[in-house]
Amino acid sequence: MMKKIAIMLLLACSAPLFAQVQVVNDAVSFHEAGNYEKARELIDGAVQHEATQGSALAWYVRGFIYKELYKQAGDTIARNAYRTVSVTSFTTSMQLDTDSVFRAENLQNLNYLAATCYNDAVLLLQPGNTEASTPLYEQYLGIATAADSAENYKAKIMEYKLILGLIYMQRAADDTLHRKAFMEKARACYTEVLKYDPDNFSANYRMGILYYNQAVDIIRDLDYEIEFYILDNMQDTCIVLAKNSLPYMLRAYKLDSGKEDPIKGLMGIYYMLNEKDKYNEYLKRLEDLKGGGKD
Amino acid sequence: MVLTYKVTSWFALAPVIFLVMAFSEDGDDYKVANAKIQSIFIWNFSRHIEWPDGYRTGDFVIAVMGNSYLKNELADMAKIKKVGNRTISVLAVNGIDDLPKCHILYVAPGHASMVATITGYLRGKSTLIVTEKDGLAKEGAVINFVVVNNKQKFELNVSNAEKHNLKISSQLSALAILVR
């Protein structure tokens, strides 16, 4: 690919630009020879020179060289830095490429770099390192936007937010001091997923759980000494939360009535609402499901 | 160059059951929550009702018939609360045969058919009978838990209280649904 570009460069340039275009061509040659540092030095100069700074091709070449540097780098900080420059270069090339000569190649490379960002972001979530993961995820979103293909990335956005939401819920379970804050972060994640896909089972079920757990937390933390009227108010609050939970849990159940979890969730919600008939109805459904009986 | 996205499938497989944050081991946290609310009510009953002589010394005894969640919750409460300076003792009972002298007896809905027998057995005794089924406040219970607009409330039969020589504070009466 890069050899073809080298030939294109030589054929396309006019005499006054020849010297600078030759720099770009030399960068291509060094790249082909595997001398990426030299290639980088040359191309960095070329994109700053007035003769070639407006060349979509020069920026494309730069993106390609930095992509190679990213792949070769062993140090994480250096890899991220090279990747960022590569993305910027391909994006700039796209902006300058008014005839869309390099559009397909630019998009292909941006898609590749987006995938690396996303994969790194998700890998960092495995040890629960949300602080390091989030900037990479944001970078991934930036690439998706630059590539004007945010729609295509919708599934990835939802996948990431579901994972992140789960991590926040785990943290809420482990960290009583910051529990509420983590639950709100989890809620934000699922809200975003449901914006894209209102019928996402996991997001619906977990939103239901979040509201329900909030109510349980309130009751658990009640002091025995509270006045009756405060107990009454707290019950009101819990009822609101349980009712907030209900539509999500009902939808989750509707989406997959063969799963035990939403049935158990509905049992809990209806019990909390003191709707024992409904509780018993779902208890029966759970027993039927476990027993393999008809619904 | 095409790079496939790595789907972190292990996250997708993470069990969701842990998401139900139980503060009971068997996962029925909603029953524990309900028991907590009822415990708070029972605690307040102990504070707003006066027992006669003969019931003012020794442990304050609460007997629970048919609801292990409530019994456990009251037992937890008993670890940190006293009635005046008296230790609260909570025990589970199955029927009148193992029913000791007690200050409060809670009868679960599943044992509602025993209320008439229990009322007869406790005639003349100063035990606050607390039930949780429609109509029982007229059948001998002093206090009957009910649900109004999804909330836990309670009915109070003052006449039944007087039959057991129990004095109900005006504050408690004001909060109750009075039943005659």
Helix (H) or strand (E) holding B147: strand B143-148
pLDDT of residue A206 exceeding 90: yes
Cβ atoms of residues B151 and B158 within 8 Å = no
Residue A126 C-beta-side C-alpha neighbours within 13 Å: 11
| A274 with B150: Cβ contact below 8 A | yes
Residues in B closer than 8 angstroms to A173, CB to CB, are 18, 21
**Interface contact B148, partner A, CB < 8 A:** no
Residue A258 three-state SS: coil
Residue B145 three-state SS: strand
The pLDDT confidence band at residue B88, using thresholds 50, 70 and 90, is: very high
Instruction: Kindly report, residue by residue over B30-63, the tens digit of the pLDDT.
Output: 999 999 999 999 999 999 999 999 999 999 999 9
Residues 6+ apart with CB under 8 A from A279: A267, A270, A271
| A68 to A48, A53, A71, A85, B39: CA distances (angstroms) | 20, 21, 5, 11, 67
- Please tell me the predicted confidence (pLDDT) of residue A76: 87
How far is it, in rounded angstroms, from Cα A171 to Cα A168?
5
Instruction: Kindly report, residue by residue over B1-35, the tens digit of the pLDDT.
Output: 444 444 444 344 343 334 444 333 456 889 999 99
Residue B151 three-state SS: strand
DSSP string for residues in B46-100: HHHEEPPTTSSSS-EEEEEES-HHHHHHHHHHHHH-EETTEEEEEEEESSGGG--
Instruction: Kindly report, residue by residue over A79-91, the tens digit of the pLDDT.
Output: 999 999 999 999 9
**Interface contact B36, partner A, CB < 8 A:** yes
Cβ atoms of residues A23 and A45 within 8 Å = yes
Q: Show which of residues 57-96 on chain B sit within 8 Å of chain A, judged by CB atoms.
A: 77, 80-81
Give the amino acid at A100: S
Q: Report the largest interatomic distance among the alpha carbons of chain B, rounded to a whole angstrom.
A: 90
| A272 with B33: Cβ contact below 8 A | yes
Residues in B closer than 8 angstroms to A122, CB to CB, are 6, 8
How far is it, in rounded angstroms, from Cα B121 to Cα B4?
76
Pairing mode, strands B177-178 and B151-156: parallel
pTM of the entire structure?
Answer: 0.82
